[in-house]
Structure 1
Amino acid sequence: MKILHTSDWHLGQNFFTKSRKHEHQAFLDWLLDQIDQHQIDAVIVAGDIFDTGAPPSYARELYNKFVVAISQRQCSLIVLGGNHDSVSTLKESKALLACLNTYVVANSSDNLQDQLLELKQADGTVGAILCAVPFVRPRDVVTSQAGESGSDKRQALGDAIKSHYHSLYQAAIHLRDENQWDVPILATGHLTALGVSPSKSVRDIYIGTLDGFAADGFPPADYIALGHIHRPQIVAKSEHIRYCGSPIPLSFDELKFAKQVVLVEFEGSQRVSIELIDVPRFQPMAVLKGSLADIEVQLNALKDHDDPKPIWLHIEVEVQDYLSDLQQHIQALTENLNVDVLQLQRARGHKAQALTQEAKETLAELTPGDVFQKRLALEVFEGEEEQARMKRIQNQFSQIVAEIEHVEASE
């Protein structure tokens, strides 16, 4: 039995005004090639199929075409809902996709059978049992109690998720024993496990309730396929508990590590191998850092870039003094190059110095306006549009402070 673990596709993502449509199409075509090449029996997508709850039409089209393409192979597709996915959006086509060998688990349920899946091998026999756990929303597993503190709610949610996993796993063992199958039991999850390394594009999903899920809360499954964290990594030093990561870089800081899918192979109930397959980079991207002179040298090295797709750039410039025309400097340097500067910012050196100075001040010495202005000074607002945005932010803050002071004065 061969399982391919992927997650966090984020179909429909808009990256600094740039569409990822062609990258996602190239990835899905590449994924189909891997299915053919490795004779995969089942593909598990551990959450965040889409980037938003209301994905653009082209993102839905990519998804639907992939479902049709994989249904023409002897391979099952299991789709788990993530925190970016809309439960209703995934459910609207669930019954139809089931006819195409695709099984959608959009949300957790009291009916465990909805999350207990029998994964078939090419010969039609059961090759694995899957405890299909999507992103768990608190309302699906816990009931709020009056008078609960924040720590009580976090504890209750963590205990409820652990109990949900345990109940599913016990149901899977019962199903396996009842049928005397020599097959592995797999599990999934879309959450933040304690101790993992996220990237900047990862959105905290348990804000105010649960910061992270302890690895000892997972059941003793033979493989646990996780999603939500975009950086590939193992959890709690356990080879069989893994994040595969997102297939394309969803932020510039994700260029630091390879993108992967995970191929897990079983013989009977025994895991025989875990193979990491690197995903190609379908869009040229780069991060340039240094002084203006350093940046110019790095840009000159891109003159021979002959790919029809321009290189998307993040440029971080170290400057001693404030340059009001930094954006014009960079535009001049990149004018004849096949690049798109998507993000331009100043190095954080002077920001760190400012923060050190602020650490010596007490809040009692500062007004709310002082704190706000110091924080605003750490941001870069280049060009007329950004300057106008800064003024709007300042005006909105002033209005909020005025409203609060008016309420306090009237009490």
Structure 2
Amino acid sequence: MRILHTSDWHIGRSFHGHSTLEALSEVLGVLVGQVEEHGVDVVVVAGDVFDSAAPSAACYPLLTRTLAALAEAGARVVVTSGNHDSAARLGFQSALLRDDITVVTDPLSVGTPVTIEDAHGPVHFYGIPYLEPAIVRHLWPGAELRSQAQTMAHAMDLVRRDLSARGGRSIAIAHCFAAGVEATPGVEREIRQGGLDNVPLPVFDGPDYVALGHIHGRQSLSDRVRYAGAPLHYSFGEAGKPRGSWLVELDAAGLSSVEWLALPVPRPLVTLRAPFDDLLSDAALDAHVDDWVRAEYTDPTPQIDPMRRLQARFPWCATVAHLPAEARQDDGRGYARRVRAARDETEIVDAFLVHVREGEGASEAEREILRDVLDARAMTQAQS
């Protein structure tokens, strides 16, 4: 049996104010083509299908089209809900779905598999929807479920108990933060890395393969426990990291092989760091005109209207940051002390510029303008 492991589609997520629906539709179309090309029998989607609990109306057609296309390509589909999904919204039509598409959102279904046959017998797919301890602990009053680790351990105990009675090969599908994984800063927004939400790797013992979601980057915690990551880049912290899914093959004995199937990146992400004038004129940066750009300019002082000026060259510039190459040296004198120490109005203006321009006072040209303005004002006052 061939299984495609994907996750974290985040339908409806924006990228710095830009919709990603068109790009995601393009990438998921390629994924459907891979399913047909490689003769995939089952596609598992390990949570975070939507990006929010209340997705916009435009998100549903993309999900419907993609699930239908996967089924038409010859695959059974098993989807579980993630922490971004509303289980009610994702699963409201699960009873109406065709036989080859299953959406698992009910915590009480944990331990009850979707069983699919191949030439070697049954394969049991144990979907585990995202389990928030505070919300689900009342469902199992005899279990201590104070942390994500305890909750996932309980869920996997239910899986192993059922599997021991049924026998055969198995796949577990879960959405959580496993210990030892490397999270992308600013991407996995609801991960707390203090230890309570870290699920130890031995918790996943038992199934032939564990398809995890929640982390946006491809990661292998062991030969049989993996994250596929998201099909799109949703943060500049993910730039350069591969996008794709795992093609998992089971033979009569269990896990046979795992292969990475890469997905295209519709628009690469790049961070450009240089003085502002270089960002606007350096010919070496021409290669990034069609990329998503995070611009970091290193001038000592902030620029006027930097985003508009940068987008004239980089239409897809999404964010601008002022990060001076040299940190401002604090001489311990605050703005008020500088003003009090000033001997004339020119020095007062200079003190203000030092305060607001990261320590850079007036240039000689600016001082000349100041002197002209102040002299003209003095002359006007004298005449009146």
TM-score normalised by the shorter chain: which range applies? Answer: 0.7 to 0.9
1:281 equivalenced with 2:265 (yes/no): yes
Letter in 2 for 1:129: H
* Alignment partner, residue 119 of structure 1: 116
Which of 123, 131, 140 is residue 128 of structure 1 equivalent to?
123
* Alignment partner, residue 180 of structure 2: 195
Deviation, structure 1 residue 49:
0.3
Match of 2:199, SS state, is coil
Gap change, CA 1:311 and 1:158, over 3 Å in 2: closer
Structure richer in helix, relative to its length: 1
Q: Deviations along 1:238-295, whole A, 9 cap, x unmatched? A: 1211111101001011113111200011111332211011111112432212222543
Question: How far apart in 1 are the matches of 2:189 and 2:215?
Answer: 9
Question: How far apart in 1 are the matches of 2:24 and 2:319?
Answer: 21
Q: How does 1:26-41 map to 2 (within 5 A)?
A: 26-41=26-41
Gap change, CA 1:322 and 1:276, over 3 Å in 2: same
Aligned-pair identity (%): 26
Alpha carbons 1:261, 1:278 under 8 Å: kept: yes
Q: Deviations along 1:103-142, whole A, 9 cap, x unmatched? A: 1111421x545x4111344x7x854111211211214542
* Alignment partner, residue 82 of structure 1: 82
Gap change, CA 1:92 and 1:339, over 3 Å in 2: same
Which of 227, 252, 261 is residue 268 of structure 1 equivalent to?
252
Gap change, CA 1:63 and 1:153, over 3 Å in 2: closer
- Structure 2: runs of 5 or more not aligned: 333-355, 357-384
Question: How far apart in 1 are the matches of 2:276 and 2:324?
Answer: 15
Match of 1:239, SS state, is coil
Which of 314, 321, 345 is residue 294 of structure 2 equivalent to?
314
* Alignment partner, residue 344 of structure 1: 320
Alpha carbons 1:226, 1:242 under 8 Å: kept: yes
Q: Deviations along 1:205-242, whole A, 9 cap, x unmatched? A: 4689933111122222211100000011112xx12111
* Alignment partner, residue 323 of structure 1: 302
Q: How does 1:349-368 map to 2 (within 5 A)?
A: none
Deviation, structure 1 residue 158:
2.5
Alpha carbons 2:213, 2:229 under 8 Å: kept: yes
Deviation, structure 1 residue 42:
0.4
* Alignment partner, residue 170 of structure 2: 185
Deviation, structure 1 residue 73:
3.2
- Structure 1: runs of 5 or more not aligned: 145-151, 177-182, 358-376, 378-411
Question: How far apart in 2 are the matches of 1:239 and 1:291?
Answer: 45
Alpha carbons 2:250, 2:257 under 8 Å: kept: yes
Letter in 2 for 1:247: P
Question: How far apart in 2 are the matches of 1:47 and 1:224?
Answer: 13
Deviates more, 1:42-51 or 1:343-352: 343-352
* Alignment partner, residue 309 of structure 2: 332
Gap change, CA 1:340 and 1:135, over 3 Å in 2: same
* Alignment partner, residue 103 of structure 2: 104
* Alignment partner, residue 397 of structure 1: none
Deviation, structure 1 residue 302:
2.1
Question: How far apart in 1 are the matches of 2:23 and 2:164?
Answer: 40
Letter in 2 for 1:104: V
Gap change, CA 1:54 and 1:256, over 3 Å in 2: same
Q: Segments of 4+ in structure 1 off by > 6 A?
A: 348-354
Gap change, CA 1:348 and 1:205, over 3 Å in 2: farther
RMSD: 2.9
Letter in 2 for 1:232: R
Gap change, CA 1:304 and 1:49, over 3 Å in 2: closer
Question: How far apart in 2 are the matches of 1:221 and 1:74?
Answer: 24
Question: How far apart in 1 are the matches of 2:67 and 2:180?
Answer: 34
Question: How far apart in 1 are the matches of 2:133 and 2:231?
Answer: 28
Question: How far apart in 2 are the matches of 1:254 and 1:304?
Answer: 17
Q: How does 1:363-374 map to 2 (within 5 A)?
A: none
Gap change, CA 1:324 and 1:332, over 3 Å in 2: closer
Deviation, structure 1 residue 69:
1.6
Which of 133, 152, 167 is residue 138 of structure 1 equivalent to?
133
Alpha carbons 1:153, 1:209 under 8 Å: kept: no
